[in-house]
Chains A and B, each alone.
Chain A
Amino acid sequence: MNLSYYPGCTLKTKAKNLEDSAVASMAALGVNLVELPRWNCCGTVYSFAEDEELHQLAPVRNLIRVKEVESNKVVTICSFCYNTLKRANLLITNDPEKRNTLNTFMEEEIDYNGEVEVVHLLEVLRDEVGWQSISQKVQLPLKGLKVAPYYGCTLLRPQAVAIDNVERPTIMHDLLQALGAEVVDFPFATECCGSYQILSNPDFVSHCVWDILSSALRWGAEAVALSCPMCDFNLGQKQKELRQTHSGFKGIPILYFTQLLALSLGLDPEVCRFELNYVDPRPLLESKGLLRQ
Chain B
Amino acid sequence: MRVEISTKRIYSDFVKKVEEINGQTLPPCYQCGKCSAGCPMSFAMELLPNQIIRLVQLGLEEDIAKSNTIWICASCITCSLRCPRGVDLARVMEALRLITMRKNIDHVKISEIPQETIAELPQLAMVGGFRKLTA
Touch A–B, Cβ below 8 Å: yes
Scoring B20, B21, B72, B81 by chain A CB atoms within 10 A of each residue's CB, the highest score goes to: B81
A207-B43 in contact given A50-B22, A51-B20, A157-B78 (Cβ < 8 Å): yes
Asked if B124 and A157 sit within 8 Å, CB to CB, the answer is: no
Asked if B81 and A166 sit within 8 Å, CB to CB, the answer is: yes
Question: Residue A233 at the B interface, CB < 8 A?
Answer: yes
A80-B124 in contact given A43-B131, A194-B41, A197-B41 (Cβ < 8 Å): yes
Main secondary structure of the interface of A (DSSP, over half): loop
Neighbouring A residues of B100 by C-beta, 8 Å: none
A201–B21 Cα distance when bound, in Å, is 26
Main secondary structure of the interface of B (DSSP, over half): helix
A229-B122 in contact given A194-B40, A195-B75, A200-B71 (Cβ < 8 Å): yes
Scoring B20, B40, B128 by chain A CB atoms within 10 A of each residue's CB, the highest score goes to: B40
The 0/1 profile, CB within 8 Å of B marked 1, for residues 191-205 of chain A is: 110111111110010
Question: Residue B61 at the A interface, CB < 8 A?
Answer: no
**Closest residue to B82 on the A side, CB-wise?**
A167
Neighbouring A residues of B37 by C-beta, 8 Å: none
Asked if B127 and A157 sit within 8 Å, CB to CB, the answer is: no
Question: Residue A237 at the B interface, CB < 8 A?
Answer: yes
Asked if B123 and A208 sit within 8 Å, CB to CB, the answer is: no
B122 to nearest A CB, angstroms? 4
The 0/1 profile, CB within 8 Å of A marked 1, for residues 18-55 of chain B is: 00111100000000000000001101100000000000
Asked if A207 and B44 sit within 8 Å, CB to CB, the answer is: yes
Question: Residue B98 at the A interface, CB < 8 A?
Answer: yes
Query: Can you give 29 contacting A-B residue pairs, CB < 8 Å?
Result: A9-B127, A10-B122, A43-B127, A47-B94, A48-B88, A48-B95, A51-B23, A78-B124, A153-B74, A153-B76, A157-B81, A166-B81, A191-B40, A192-B41, A192-B78, A194-B74, A195-B76, A197-B72, A198-B121, A198-B125, A200-B108, A200-B129, A204-B44, A207-B43, A208-B40, A211-B40, A230-B122, A230-B124, A233-B122
Ranked 8 nearest A-B pairs via Cβ: A199-B129, A50-B23, A192-B76, A157-B77, A196-B128, A48-B94, A196-B129, A9-B123
